[in-house]
């Protein structure tokens, strides 16, 4: 079973300069999903910023955001696809109950860092074979970064 979850980001970062003003936005819908142990999940976002110095997915329950691709608990089970401008997807395979957490995407540029303070996508992994649709749209969030 593969579950796909999308959330949209619209980043607003306005910069005045010689070439004028450019503005990007991030819109984002908080969601909760429930999936079966052993399955695969895709969690995606759309990024509208073209230049980043780094970007990664992380669990919000860690004291310091850690790139999931370097976390030993996810070794061989995590993959990122997409580009820095457009759809960016986190795929976790062979889901375990301990993967239940809130996942967030972050990126940095030379001027700012985005994504640490907003709520992310909550993943609930269960061993039960009976699943109910638990996708919930909570709040539409917008964040302006200046």
**Structural domains present in the chain:** 2-145 (2.60.40.10)
Q: Name the residue with higher pLDDT: 83 or 60.
A: 60
pLDDT for 136 beyond 70: no
Q: How many CA atoms lie within 13 A of 130 on its CB side?
A: 0
- 92 Cβ neighbours under 8 A, 6+ residues apart: 40, 41, 43, 68, 74, 77, 78, 99, 123
Model confidence pTM above 0.85:
no
List helix spans (H) across the chain.
Answer: none
pLDDT digits (tens, 9 = 90+) for 30-52: 788 899 999 999 888 777 766 77
């Amino acid at each position: 079973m593969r579950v796909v979850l999308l959330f949209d980001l619209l980043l607003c970062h306005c910069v005045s300069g010689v070439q004028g003003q450019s503005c990007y936005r991030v819109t984002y819908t908080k969601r909760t999903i429930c999936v079966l142990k052993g399955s695969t999940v895709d969690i995606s976002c759309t990024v509208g910023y073209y230049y980043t110095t780094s970007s990664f997915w992380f669990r919000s329950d860690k004291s310091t955001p850690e790139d999931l691709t370097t976390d030993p608990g996810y070794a061989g089970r995590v993959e990122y696809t997409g580009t820095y401008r457009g759809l960016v997807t986190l795929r976790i395979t062979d889901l375990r109950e301990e993967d239940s957490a809130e996942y967030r995407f972050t990126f940095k540029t030379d001027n700012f860092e985005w994504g640490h303070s907003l709520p992310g996508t909550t993943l609930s992994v269960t061993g039960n074979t009976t699943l109910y649709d638990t996708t919930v749209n909570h709040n539409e969030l917008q964040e302006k970064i200046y």
